[in-house]
């Protein structure tokens, strides 16, 4: 396994999943649930993130071919969406409201579109198209590890809430936004460079 590729893809995807906004949303939406239900929701959301992300990662190229979209055009589009997500995180977008009692929030809206949003989907499709052969499987393992990391954050939400406090969470969300802004700029620049080459 290419360790440097694994680490690179893991870090990219981990921040793409906007873990601290996901944590904030999870805490807000599971406020009225007891500990076992919170754990169950966190595990089901993590499973959904893994499945959705893997499908997008592996079948992105087929979608490109079907729609007649070039990889560079999608890089630029995904970069633009990712930049908008980064801005909303830096500005401190509000977490979703607590759902009605009995609502199942694990898959929708928690996994999709809160954790795996449009910008994440676009970037995963680009990553899946850029990697081929053994590199693709290294990327898939990194993706699963990043989703697992997201799941561990959700499972430890109560402890993290006490440890970080609302101010700490806000700072981490803004830092995530800055990293996503840099990733979006890189996607757009790469797309333009290849398009003009």
pLDDT confidence of residue 118: 83
Q: Decide: 108 and 44 in contact? Cβ < 8 Å.
A: no
- pLDDT tens, 81-122? 889 888 988 887 655 656 666 678 999 899 998 999 888 999
Does residue 185 surpass a pLDDT of 60?
Answer: yes
Angstrom CA distances, 171 to 3, 49, 117, 164, 177, stand at 30, 24, 21, 10, 10
- pLDDT tens, 23-61? 989 998 898 889 999 999 999 999 999 999 999 999 987
pLDDT confidence of residue 93: 66
Q: Which two tokens stand for residue 78?
A: 């995904």
* Phi/psi-derived region of residue 34, left when phi > 0, alpha when psi is between -120 and 50, beta in every other case: beta
C-alpha to C-alpha distance for 21 and 119, rounded to whole angstroms: 14
* Phi/psi-derived region of residue 64, left when phi > 0, alpha when psi is between -120 and 50, beta in every other case: alpha
Mean per-residue pLDDT for 116-135?
91
- pLDDT tens, 151-174? 999 999 999 988 988 889 889 888
C-alpha to C-alpha distance for 107 and 6, rounded to whole angstroms: 27
pLDDT confidence of residue 136: 94
Among 42, 161, 33, residue whose Cα is nearest residue 102: 33
pLDDT confidence of residue 69: 85
User: Domain locations in the chain?
Assistant: 3-196
């Amino acid at each position: 396994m290419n360790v440097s590729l694994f680490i690179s893809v893991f870090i990219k995807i981990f921040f793409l999943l906007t873990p601290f906004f996901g944590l904030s949303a999870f805490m807000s939406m599971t406020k009225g649930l007891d500990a076992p239900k919170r754990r169950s929701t966190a595990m089901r959301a993590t499973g959904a993130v893994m499945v959705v992300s893997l499908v997008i990662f592996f079948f992105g190229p087929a979608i490109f071919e079907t729609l007649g979209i070039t990889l560079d055009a999608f890089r630029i589009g995904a970069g633009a969406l990712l930049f908008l997500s980064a801005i909303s995180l830096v500005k401190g977008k509000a977490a979703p409201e607590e759902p009605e009692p009995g609502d199942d929030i694990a898959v929708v809206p928690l996994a999709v579109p809160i954790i795996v949003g449009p910008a994440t989907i676009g970037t995963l499709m680009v990553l899946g198209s850029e990697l081929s052969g053994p590199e693709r499987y290294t990327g898939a393992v990194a993706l699963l590890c990043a989703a697992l990391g997201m799941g561990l954050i959700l499972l430890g939400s109560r402890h993290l809430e006490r440890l970080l406090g609302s101010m700490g969470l806000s700072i981490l969300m803004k830092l995530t936004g800055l990293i996503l802004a840099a990733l979006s700029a890189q996607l757009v620049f790469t797309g333009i460079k290849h398009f003009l080459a």
